[in-house]
Chains A and B, each alone.
Chain A
């Protein structure tokens, strides 16, 4: 089965599940819980009645109001992180049935159509757990600082209007600009591993999202002033060359960002950057 077919199969399966969803059923949420950083994790299950249009977040809200496990013992409410509830902020990203995605857009009808079906919820494994399903994504944002994912416009004088932009180029950059820093690409990446020690973040693999953001700002008329510095950062330890080309990132990206094309483009950029430096010296 090709990747495209596997994708279509997933979508077809979810659509088929939605059609056979039974009204008035209850489903089981099996949740990996953890009381705090460094604490051991444990599994707890909850039986949740499914309302029309229910998603994982609305089910978690029901559990928060009725924190009783399937064994009947009272427990603490399950903690999770969320913001926009419309798949544009990335905060509610978690591992659902073994695969990473946003929980707000995860419909129960598509995942558990029948009475007693089980949905497994786990926190992302590549970031430190704060509590239950809530993780600390600081490293993800520090990677954006590392590659200077911004346009340098702060100064003491007006820099005037930016350069002209063609519609084609604007469309290419728009696709890259849709990144919401959710962490799906990092969670699914076999080369991006959990690093607890903050000191090591700057030499650990930077991840697909930051490589793609570096490309976005390299393609910006004013942002490209920092191109050399971005390539310096991305040529170092943990830079673009740490990518193992498993290409899971592009498959799990909820925004369909061409992450592997960005990796190829930044690979080309760093190659040329290195050749220039070899013959011209560092500037």
Chain B
């Protein structure tokens, strides 16, 4: 890296700016979408078109519907590889940049200095968390999952609940460790994104004056607070979700109750009734 003719030095500016950009696009934008999908476990009950009578049943069904929708995206693997490559790029450069500094929070206890430290700590922990998250739930490294449950997009809510709880029956001790790791992980990543968005505006030169930096700071804090609520709702929602209840809703959806009829005029009602009869 200290080689003055090396690629790191030659393309220094471009790499720095790409490091900043990848944090927002695609990683940050994906984070917003990901948390929106996952937090349906908390607010999906609002979805009147979802299968199920109770609030939680509709939430489970909405989440399953969203996961199935994402899995039908054309060229999904290409999108995923783009994301993984961006995360790897942002992580590797981030670590190289982070270790080039020396924290001095003991002597200079300013808010900005604390955020500087937190940005690096949340980055390090965030890398571990994202790796564990993708390895277990996407690549199927079930040996890293207590209870060994393999996440399946066909039983999205139930298998996720089991992966967070350590078994399909009840919370195990290792399940609690995983759930806490998830809680800490998402909290840190949401902070990292919100704070990174604030510093990126200075880096690129969008915010110059102190008042502009302050205003943008409030905007980033508001976005961060919103995402934090979604992140916590997702983790708590799935960590407390009953496996059997989720499984029941998912199986019911698979056996043809999805999509739920949209219109309720006489004609379709009859048609649905007939359809149900055939099923039965």
Contacts and interface: CB of A to CB of B under 8 A. Distances in A.
Contact of B108 (A236, A252, A268, A274): A252
Contacts of A203: 2, 4, 9
B262 interface: no
Given A98-B107, A241-B203, A190 B116 contact: yes
Contact of A269 (B12, B205, B206, B207): B205
A271 B110 contact: no
B238 to A, nearest CB: 34
| Dominant secondary structure at the B interface | helix
A235 B12 contact: yes
| Dominant secondary structure at the A interface | helix
A130 interface: no
A266 B202 CA distance: 9
B205 A248 contact: no
Contact of A246 (B2, B106, B112, B206): B112
A24 interface: no
A248 B102 CA distance: 13
A13 B105 CA distance: 21
A258 interface: yes
A266 B107 CA distance: 28
B113 A248 contact: yes
B111 A2 contact: yes
A193 B207 CA distance: 26
Contacts of B119: 244
Interface in A17-54: none
A246 B113 contact: yes
Given A190-B113, A191-B101, A193-B100, A99 B13 contact: no
A272 B101 CA distance: 27
Contacts of B205: 264-272
B2 A200 contact: yes
Interface in B194-217: 199, 202-210, 212-213
Most buried by A among B13, B199, B204: B13
Contacts of A191: 100-101
Given A190-B101, A260-B202, A264-B213, A241 B110 contact: no
Contact of B110 (A242, A247, A264, A268): A247
B16 interface: yes
A245 B2 contact: no
A137 interface: no
Interface of A: 2-3, 6, 98-99, 188, 190-191, 193, 200, 203, 235-237, 239, 241-248, 251-252, 258, 260-261, 263-272, 274
Q: Top 7 nearest A-B pairs by Cβ distance?
A: A268-B205, A246-B116, A247-B112, A264-B208, A241-B16, A267-B205, A245-B199
